[in-house]
Chains A and B, each alone.
Chain A
Amino acid sequence: MNYPLVTKIIETKNENNRIKTIKFENNKKITPGQFYMIWIPGVDEIPMSVSYIDKNIIGITFKKIGEATNALFNLKKGDKIGARGPYGTGFKLNGKKILFVGGGTGVAMLAPVIEEAIKKKLNLKVIIGAKTKNELFFEKRIKETGAELFISTDDGTYGTKGFTTDIAEDIIKKNHFDLILTCGPELMMKKLMDISKDIDFQASLERFMKCGFGICGQCCIGDGIRVCTEGPIFNEKTLKKIQDFGIFKRDASGKKIKF
């Protein structure tokens, strides 16, 4: 049922000074790429992708940017949150050679699908990027999977100076890929789709969400496609038909906001 299950936080971890992971119990089956609506009682309820999938425990990893994420950041082990989900579609690992590209907090939800791809013995390369060195996270976690990892920072304080898409362009020229999976700023994903040409492509989109189960219409894009239920993962066929992709999103009132 689409009602938050109230649960106690069983573990928290600061990934850097603005990014934190919170873990809680879960007994539902989850496909990497799916998300939960996380209720912070008295504050807000916000969508959060799953960043850790263990047997009976899942995690979310988020950056503090506003009221809800700040409140969530301040919660401790034992505090109560509500979680309803999982919602949306997950990534489909159809291919043997896969390129993963994560930008900013988008890296959080890519981590579990990278781990799954490793378990399936697929051949993968991973690019992660952040504005600057101390905003990076999950470097160690991804390295430990054995995946080949490339890192970029906008300001060059770590890894290659520039954008993930610069590295991607270079790697795509030199290697063959069956599939590209990405999550990050929409303009980055749009650029990546252009670069990827005819390689299969799946991207995770973010839109303002209220219900999360396909009724309120808040998250609709293109020809009435609900990001919460028919997404948030879309392939290039669908993305090419979505006129809003990389152009605008809607705020809580439904007003268009350009990227």
Chain B
Amino acid sequence: MIEIPTKIANLRLKNPTILASGIMDEDAGSMIRIFKSGAGAIVTKSIGLKPREGYPNPSVIELECGLLNAMGLPNPGIEEFKSEVIKLKKSKVTVIGSIFGSNSKEFTVLGTKMQDAGVNALELNMSCPHAKGYGLEIGSDQKIVEKITTNVKSSVSIPVFVKISPNLTDIPKIAQSAEKGGADAIVAINTVKAMKIDIETQRPILSNKIGGYSGKAIKPIGIRCVYEIYKKVNIPIIGVGGINTGEDAIEYMMAGASAVQIGSAIYSRDIYVFEKICKEIKNWMKTNNYKKIDELIGVANL
């Protein structure tokens, strides 16, 4: 039998499929449910210092080949969220705490609090494409990315992942800055900046006007980013963007990803998507005579 356990830094996963941040991960109940239904780990919703309601609706809609969202980083704030993490730990869920801040001090405070609550690793969201003063606005500056990563790393002992954006001209450079700051892995990609105008009402449909595109349509963008990053950094990459099937996950691995995250596919294949994708990965490996996932990672980098 083919087994697919995975290791990222010192984080051991039962399989390489991880729930992406922002999808069914606001409360412990949902995250436990998704972990039990087959995910190797869970990334929490991105959490900030204070409660945020996010943008008014419409905040997420479906387009031809994916989803468009501008949630606006809604979250109950770290103090309230801690109790959800504690519940997760009681249920033995492998959990990666996603955090966002506007400067390195905020990230450090959040990182320490997440660690104290019990998360197994941190994901620094430096890539949300539509939140003023957060996300991409800091994640596009190499110096800031390096500084935040360095400061968070020096104040926690758990692995730190940096999630980066496809909305950059030089993606590998930002990944390198994270690596220099001591990041244990790169997560790529967040959503792609996008917009939909409703022609009947002659206005952008999202209340925030601009949002981020996810799902099937962005897979080629994610693959290209992971491929480019793989050539330039020596730390593991977690691939995310448009993964719906085991074959999609394998494509990301061939580009250079050691594990994958899945978000929008929860809509197309429901929460059992993790189990389904793992089965498809194993089937593909069996057919093609692979025994270990490691044998696939980065093979397409010719």
A interface residues (Cβ-Cβ under 8 A, vs B): 1-4, 6, 37, 39, 41-46, 80, 82, 84, 210-211, 213-218, 220-226, 250-256
Please measure, in the bound complex, the distance between the C-alpha atom of A181 and the C-alpha atom of B141, giving whole angstroms.
57
Q: Contact at B56–A220, with CB atoms within 8 Å? A: no
Q: Contact at B80–A255, with CB atoms within 8 Å? A: yes
New A-B pairs, 4, CB < 8 Å, besides A1-B64, A80-B201, A221-B29: A210-B54, A211-B59, A216-B22, A253-B54
B interface residues (Cβ-Cβ under 8 A, vs A): 22-27, 29-34, 45, 51-54, 56-64, 67, 69, 71, 74-77, 80-81, 198, 200-201, 203, 205, 207, 263-264, 266-267, 270-271
Please measure, in the bound complex, the distance between the C-alpha atom of A12 and the C-alpha atom of B51, giving whole angstroms.
38
Given A211, A221, A251, A255, which contacts B60 in the complex, CB threshold below 8 Å?
A211
Given A3-B62, A215-B23, A218-B26, verify A224-B71 contact (CB < 8 Å): no
Given A80, A215, A224, A253, which contacts B51 in the complex, CB threshold below 8 Å?
A253
Q: Contact at B198–A250, with CB atoms within 8 Å? A: no
Q: Contact at A46–B62, with CB atoms within 8 Å? A: no
Interface SS majority for chain A: loop
Please measure, in the bound complex, the distance between the C-alpha atom of A224 and the C-alpha atom of B88, giving whole angstroms.
12
Q: Contact at B266–A253, with CB atoms within 8 Å? A: no
Q: Contact at B74–A254, with CB atoms within 8 Å? A: yes
Please measure, in the bound complex, the distance between the C-alpha atom of A256 and the C-alpha atom of B71, giving whole angstroms.
19
Contacts of B52 in A (CB 8 A): 253
Given B45, B200, B205, which contacts A254 in the complex, CB threshold below 8 Å?
B45
CB distance from B283 to the nearest CB of A (A): 26
Q: Contact at B29–A222, with CB atoms within 8 Å? A: yes
Q: Contact at B76–A2, with CB atoms within 8 Å? A: no
Q: Contact at B27–A224, with CB atoms within 8 Å? A: yes
Please measure, in the bound complex, the distance between the C-alpha atom of A256 and the C-alpha atom of B63, giving whole angstroms.
32
Given A210-B57, A210-B71, verify A2-B198 contact (CB < 8 Å): no
Please measure, in the bound complex, the distance between the C-alpha atom of A252 and the C-alpha atom of B51, giving whole angstroms.
9
Q: Contact at B57–A217, with CB atoms within 8 Å? A: no
Given B25, B63, B69, which contacts A217 in the complex, CB threshold below 8 Å?
B25
Given A3, A223, A254, which contacts B75 in the complex, CB threshold below 8 Å?
A254
Please measure, in the bound complex, the distance between the C-alpha atom of A45 and the C-alpha atom of B27, giving whole angstroms.
23
Given A3-B62, A214-B267, A220-B29, verify A45-B57 contact (CB < 8 Å): yes
CB distance from B24 to the nearest CB of A (A): 4
Q: Contact at B23–A254, with CB atoms within 8 Å? A: no
A selection of 28 A-B contacts at a CB cut-off of 8 Å is A1-B62, A2-B62, A4-B198, A4-B205, A6-B200, A37-B58, A45-B57, A45-B58, A46-B57, A210-B71, A213-B62, A214-B24, A214-B267, A215-B60, A216-B23, A216-B24, A217-B24, A220-B26, A220-B27, A220-B29, A222-B29, A223-B32, A224-B30, A253-B52, A253-B75, A253-B76, A253-B77, A254-B75
Contacts of B30 in A (CB 8 A): 217, 220, 224
CB distance from B268 to the nearest CB of A (A): 10
